[in-house]
Structure 1
Amino acid sequence: MLRYVLDRVKSSVVVLLVVSIITFAVLMIIPGDPAQLILGTEATPEMVQELHAAMGLDRPLYQQYLGWLNDLLHLDMGTSYVYGESVKSLITGSLPVTLSISVFAMIIAVFLAFLFGMLSAIKKNSIIDYFSRSIMQLGTAIPSFWIGMVFIVYFGLKLKLFPVSGFVPLSDNFAGFIKSITLPSVVLAIGETGTLLRIVRSSMLDSLNQDYMDMAKVKGLGARKVYVKYALRGALVAPLTIIGMQFAKLAGGTVVVETIFSLPGLGRLVLSAVEHRDIVLLQGLVMFITAMVIFITLAVDVLIMFINPRIKSFQRGE
């Protein structure tokens, strides 16, 4: 298992290196002069040239890349052109917002998907099964921005149960924190529940058709032990993989939801960096999000190995 983890870490480092090259190259060829954007249209050519030199943009591209990569290795992502702050501090300030709504959304989605997915598989072709299938279709078909606007109008403006914008840090007010993340988290959860529910249902159906399930029933084991200990455990691999992918996607920035609810998270930070062509900030965000996605994926793979002994045996070559 240790060898497997080390191999994955090595491949992750290679992926990060490739992503860094692609990110640097793509952002360098995007039209527009960062120095000109910072100084404005009234800046003289001499002023632009001086800022070029100060930013290191007058050096060859390979020297710029190697210098940027060296700074990354020392956890220095540079300073944002637009905000005038270090990229690290901007990410640190935005990350709690995105993680809060992502974690809360995944908790809701996992609970609903496993509840209805298991019931749908156990009670196949029943009313609960048809209801679960409807949830699958609605969750994947309805756009998140439309759900967000409906929630804002009904739960925020009409019933006044939740704030329609802004974020309250957990350290300031727990109740305010929960209220500020509830609506955006539910909107995100609706979009993720449909896909995850479908995977849970199909995995449970496959697990229920295995030979060991017939043996468990013949032994006279209780329904809870049969469905939870045996069927669910055998059906966890695919759902856990999807959960990891979904959480990595959400944690990487939820631009639409954060924009609708005016949340200062990673998604809005990415949007702002793109709008202002803040190359330094964009480069730092891309590398940070990529590293976070790789870490989450690796953690999920290791967790699956612990849960499913067959994968562990396969890695040992048994």
Structure 2
Amino acid sequence: MLVVSIIVFLLIHLTPGNPAFIILGEDASPEAIVQLEDQLGLNEPLYIQFFDWLKQVTTGDLGTSVYSAQPVKELIFANFGPTFSLMVLSLLFILIISIPTAILIVSLRKTILDPLFTNASLLGVSVPEFWLAILLVLAFGVTFRIFPVAGYMPLAEGFGPWLYHLLLPSFVLALVEIGIIARMLRDSMLDSVNQDYTKTARAKGLRERDVLMKHVFANALIPTTTVLGATVAGLLGGTVIIETLFTIPGIGQLLIDSIHRRDYPVIQGVVLFIAAIYVFVNFVVDLLYAFLDPSIRYD
């Protein structure tokens, strides 16, 4: 997180653009711009600005937006609800589709479905999210008008409207990850399907379905969980594109708006928040290893 904070701080401060100029507008006088830069501390050397901000962060203060004068922490939590809803629904799509698909393909591994699945998963991983989102919006939002093409309804307004507005964007966000998880689980299961312990289970009279679920699938969970953990954290980054395309007021949209406004504290706070979630999710995945594999123990 420290490395992320340094890189992001340097990138946004070394990129051309002046928050004071954007806030005051094109008609502002040079004197007014210089005065606002002094108020915002933008005239200080970069290393002083960075360490001042870092001292704030260590106390839990992510700073104040130079655009709205609101605390960055409040802005993040106010916009995290739509992003969290989008992530949860996308994760459900990933689990519901990828796991049964991988198990089915492994059970039919000697048929033509296996190479078809391999090609389809590679195609799904290769398609850019923004391009796929535009195609689905044109198909299901403009041509057939099944789903709304923009907007968000909070869960407090009702489960139906909330789900209706999030189905299309969450499916787009999940589609690329579905191919990755299904392919990873399928490959891991194929590595175990002809091992000695599975042959022994079959020799004892265990049905093929039970062999796949009790032995092969269970042993394939650890590498798949590793990829799934990275996927869950990666969904948060993917919401930046999806929220922009579907006009969802989450932290992804907040980040894009802050970049346009050159709102340095909000950009730094949002990226650091995303990095913190990424670290936390990977920590939880590490703990899950001991649950999935009894041979793993942490001292």
Contact 1:252–1:266 (8 Å) recurs in 2: no
The match for 2:95 is: 110
CA drift at 1:45: 2.9
Taking a change above 3 Å as real, the CA distance of residues 133 and 165 of structure 1, as seen in their structure-2 partners, is: same
How far does residue 111 in structure 1 lie from its aligned partner after superposition?
2.0
CA distance in 1, matches of 2:47, 2:243: 36
Distance in 2 between residues matched to 1:91 and 1:123, nearest whole Å:
46
Deviation at 1:143, TM superposition (A): 3.0
1:22 alignment partner AA = I
Q: Which residue of 1 aligns with 2:264?
A: 279
Kept after mapping to 2: 8 A contact 1:103/1:247:
no
Root-mean-square deviation (Å): 2.0
1:179 alignment partner, one of 147, 151, 164: 164
Give % identity. Answer: 37
2:235 to 244, 250, 261: 250
Matched to 2:113, the amino acid is I
Normalising by the residue count of structure 2, what TM-score does the alignment of the two structures yield?
Answer: 0.92
SS in 2 for 1:65: helix
Rounded to whole Å, the distance in 2 between the matches of 1:164 and 1:124 is 39
Counterpart of 2:118, as a letter, is: R
Residue correspondence of structure 1 range 226-245 to structure 2 within 5 A: 226-245=211-230
Structure 2: distance between partners of 1:143 and 1:26? 25
1:45 to 30, 34, 42: 30
Query: In structure 1, how many angstroms separate the alpha carbons of the residues matched to 2:244 and 2:42?
Result: 32
Q: Is the 8 A contact 1:253 1:266 kept in 2?
A: no
Shift in alpha-carbon separation, 1:21–1:256, aligned structure 2, 3 A: closer
1:100-159 CA-to-partner distances (Å, cap 9, x unmatched) read 122211211222211111121222131432442243133123333333233323322344
Q: Which residue of 2 aligns with 1:198?
A: 183
SS at match of 1:254: helix
Please tell me the residue identity of whatever aligns with 1:47: A
1:71 and 2:60 are equivalent in the alignment: no
SS at structure 1 position matched to 2:155: coil
CA distance in 2, matches of 1:285, 1:267: 9
| Match in the other structure for 2:199 | 214
Q: What is residue 306 of structure 1 aligned with on the other side?
A: 291
Residue 6 of structure 1 corresponds to: none
Are residue 154 (structure 1) and residue 139 (structure 2) matched?
yes
| Unpaired runs of at least 5, structure 1 | 1-15
Q: What's the counterpart of residue 269 of structure 1? A: 254
How far the C-alpha of 1:67 sits from its partner, in A, is 1.8
Deviation at 1:294, TM superposition (A): 0.7
Matches within 5 A, 1:129-168: 129-168=114-153
